Structure 1
């Protein structure tokens, strides 16, 4: 598994452990009264990507450690473990964070005004995009982006839709099991928007890890790996299928319906999800046609 995917998986696991022992946060009833156009600290990749899509990247003076942003923009830890000194030095006093259990609200308030944005469902994402737009004087662009997100992530599942398992990472890790995309997630919504049923039907709690025994039980029609990068040096889908070759009990192995989807930000949850929906749909169509 590539290093970037491993870092993301560890972060997801840590977050899941935190959430499992706490009550889920309540949605915001409103946002703080702030002056639009203030310098912004974006402490989530999905928020940074949204600001970039709204042509408001110039408002960003600090990002989280995991954001895709130019090297010259300072990094300030994460929303769950913020680097308060760096946030102060950046000049940002408006702190945009993704809603999550365990956010250190008191710490964040010491260095600025936190705006907590729910980001777990399609409607929450769309509403949060509109809030971001209002904070950076890009309301019209935000309304348009929110509309496109709602349309792109609308479920297209039918009874005939293939059962697809989305796996995180470039390679098949037999020893540690599979890290998978939960149905109750924004990436799960992207899978349904691509016209596929999630092979996992039950709600998953805690870390999104699946044993090989459970993999055989659900026996998906198709297995897709979500891999960061452009694929140039990460191997072909044929190589990935060889990694699964010992699992002949799986119909996806026997029918050669296993492939990778590459994108530098494939695990992000911002506007790039629109591209992911199209990529999943295209890959599934190729596999069902029997294309390599």
Structure 2
């Protein structure tokens, strides 16, 4: 079997909330492990504060992990020096949530797209310009966008520019961090369709972060469900949506509106708010909101256990029916 392009093992990230080493510890991620096969799209879903973006930024070492391994194409990125990591960055790119805030207003679109090529010293000036213009074509933007500035474009067009900036280096892995959440619904569909088309045509490998489970179902091959810095469930997309095994996954899926008139699933309302990562519950972190929690849930951190081929969940209850 072919090795996955990305293998994350025991990824942990703890912050000190006060900014000082002696402050309260915020457990943003605890013992996260998953794989991203080559040419596939793996989704990270969960409520705000679940750790999705922290995983994405840790994978590219935009923030430094506290512990764990991030193995990209056989190389553990956590062991690389700053200069070695800089060389790897041409192979790993990030699409940001805010399509305007991530673009410098003082640079033309051509300068923005060529910046990464300049840093990596790829090609001549003319070759860099040609690659940037090709990236604009890939995302269906006009050629004259090359000499214009970010403020001259709509939100959807700016996100296309952000996608082009990621594509221009011809990366092997793209982390897309909530790439459509800041856009109008009609524009969201266009951008998701563009990403799906690019992924299929270019054979991209992608880690797709979103809180929108309908979008994730459409674009992702595998889905990872996160809660308070821990993995609750991993399954192929079609399996997760048809046969979710974790109570948290079921609650999330029950909130997806049905496109069929008169048909709606029974909404499962989770009680209370997501706890603070500075003071997570003992045992299973989901137990304080779980309708099926028992006393043992407060004492045991549930391991990820296989319930079917390629389908794992972290729950000690094996007697919960769908």
Q: TM-score, normalised by structure 2?
A: 0.29
Query: Which structure features the higher share of strand residues?
Result: 2
Higher gyration radius (CA)? 2
Query: Which structure is higher in RCO with an 8 Å CA cutoff and minimum separation 6?
Result: 2
Q: TM-score, normalised by structure 1?
A: 0.31
